[in-house]
Amino acid sequence: MRASVMPRSSIRRLFTSAMTLKREGVKVYGLHIGDPDFRMPQRIADALTDAIEAGHTHYSPMAGIPALREAIQAHRNTRMDIDIPLNRVIVSQGATQALNSSLQLCVDSGNRVLFPMIYFPNYIQQSTLAGIEVDVYELDESFQPLLVRLEQQVTSKTRAMLINTPSNPTGVLFPPGTVRALYDFARRHNLWIISDEAYSDYVYRGEYLSPLSIDWEFPEEERRVIAIYSFSKSYAATGLRMGYMVAPNDETAFRLELMNEPLTGSLTTPLQWAMVQALAEDDTAVRRNALLERWQLAGELLAECGLRFAKPDGGLFYFIDISPTGMDGDTFADRLLAEEHVAVVPGSGFGLVGSRGEDGNLSFTPNELAARCVRVSFAAPLADLEEGVKRLVGFIRRKS
């Protein structure tokens, strides 16, 4: 599989365009990146410095340093009221690496994985690089899975399904009944579940249920969930690139640990010590409450544009249909940045569908729903968020 056929992330495309304008001295209202502007807690920065000064700059165990794995184990067990053995916790170089490991473990090249039809672009990029074929499960207008259609979307080559709730980019939370239905479907078809829970600390309404909690209701030999978590969003530490996985059984944990060696060489040791201190204090609610204020503000301002959109239940984003403007998401985002200096992300990259031509080459086109949407982040500083969304609303009104 040639890297040249891998689709480019629409997030990074807009990131590059916005950075170019900034370098030219233009004030850009950045509503494109899911990077909370909060300062990382000082205890994490201090722990990182202390680790370096203490000489913790050498190779670490492939599953992570014991202190961090123990801290994660205690944190997860408390949060979820389950008993996760220490060896099931595998540290990763960010949730991105954890997703990559999980996909390659669960699905061999040539076999298939199920994604929601609106999904984070890294999923398709990683699958393409691994030679994994992708099918999507359909979503309704509120971005909830159409459960009655699932049976039509599984094949004899399907090996796994990915669940991301709250979702990036839609912010939608799957209700407990839906999560259970997806889990039951996976059991019936003997599928792995890769559960991307990077936004699980940022839920603003509704009841959150992790597939991992359901998995622990079954005997170990029947478990099928690899749950993936990130320190990036929860602790405003996106640049440190630390995450972790929780494996369902000993064999899966061993294989994920083994995969760390070729994928990372060694996890960054000082950062692991810093994350021990991240978990020493459970203060994520402080950042959640600050984001809740921005979630409310963005929702109130966007309601003035006259467009229909599903209000997110969690995460960092609104995903809105801008088709009444007569533009697709890519054109809309480019013109909004050029005319109003507001950066949002085209929805096209969140719903790419791969197809092979007669020559066997792979190409990608966005599905209809993704192509007519844009993603708007409310993780920006409050003043920038307010001005940026007001400019966005004004732009929509003029073009509709």
pLDDT digits (tens, 9 = 90+) for 43-68: 999 999 999 999 999 999 999 999 99
Identify whether the C-beta of residue 115 lies closer than 8 Å to the C-beta of residue 134. Answer: yes
Q: At 105, which amino acid appears?
A: L
Q: Is the pLDDT of residue 1 over 60?
A: no
Domain boundaries, the chain: 3-39+284-399, 43-278
Kindly report the average pLDDT of the chain as a whole number.
93
CA-CA distance, 359 to 369, in Å (whole number)? Answer: 28
Closest CA to 256 of 390, 64, 72: 64
Mean pLDDT of 159-174: 97
pLDDT of residue 87: 97
Closest CA to 115 of 97, 132, 96: 132
> Quick one: pLDDT band at residue 18, thresholds 50, 70, 90?
confident
- Residue bearing tokens 């080459």: 361
CA-CA distance, 17 to 202, in Å (whole number)? Answer: 28
Question: What phi and psi values does residue 314 have, to the nearest 5 degrees?
Answer: -165, -165
pLDDT of residue 2: 44
Mean pLDDT of 239-245: 95
pLDDT of residue 4: 46
> Quick one: pLDDT band at residue 210, thresholds 50, 70, 90?
very high
Question: What phi and psi values does residue 7 have, to the nearest 5 degrees?
Answer: -70, 145
Mean pLDDT of 202-226: 96
> Quick one: pLDDT band at residue 126, thresholds 50, 70, 90?
very high
CA-CA distance, 107 to 340, in Å (whole number)? Answer: 44
pLDDT of residue 10: 80
Q: What percent of the chain has pLDDT over 70?
A: 99
Per-residue pLDDT tens over the stretch 71-90: 999 999 999 999 999 999 99
Radius of gyration of the chain (CA): 21
Q: Which residue spans within 138-200 are E strands per DSSP?
A: 158-164, 192-196
43-278 belongs to which CATH class?
A: alpha beta
pLDDT of residue 361: 75
Identify whether the C-beta of residue 139 lies closer than 8 Å to the C-beta of residue 145. Answer: yes
Beta bridge partners of 199: none
CA-CA distance, 391 to 218, in Å (whole number)? Answer: 51
Give 20's contacts (C-beta < 8 A, 6+ positions apart).
none
- Element counts in the chain: helices (H) and strands (E): 14, 14
- Show the tokens assigned to 208: 């959150």
Overall residue count recorded for the chain in this entry: 400
CA-CA distance, 139 to 148, in Å (whole number)? Answer: 11
CA-CA distance, 257 to 91, in Å (whole number)? Answer: 8
Chain CA centroid to CA 62, Å:
24
Mean pLDDT of 198-226: 96
- Show the tokens assigned to 316: 């960092």
- CATH code: domain 3-39+284-399 is 3.90.1150.10
pLDDT of residue 355: 78
pLDDT of residue 169: 96
Q: Which residue spans within the chain are E strands per DSSP?
A: 29-30, 89-92, 112-116, 133-137, 158-164, 192-196, 225-230, 243-246, 317-321, 342-343, 345-346, 352-356, 362-366, 373-377
Closest CA to 379 of 330, 315, 299, 323: 315
Per-residue pLDDT tens over the stretch 351-400: 998 877 777 777 889 999 999 999 999 999 999 999 999 999 999 999 88
Q: Is the pLDDT of residue 3 over 70?
A: no
- Name the DSSP letter for residue 109: T
Q: Is the pLDDT of residue 266 over 60?
A: yes
- Name the DSSP letter for residue 307: -
DSSP string, 1-65: --GGGSPPPHHHHHHHHHHHHHHTT---EE-S-----SPPPHHHHHHHHHHHHTT--S---TT--
CA-CA distance, 162 to 103, in Å (whole number)? Answer: 9
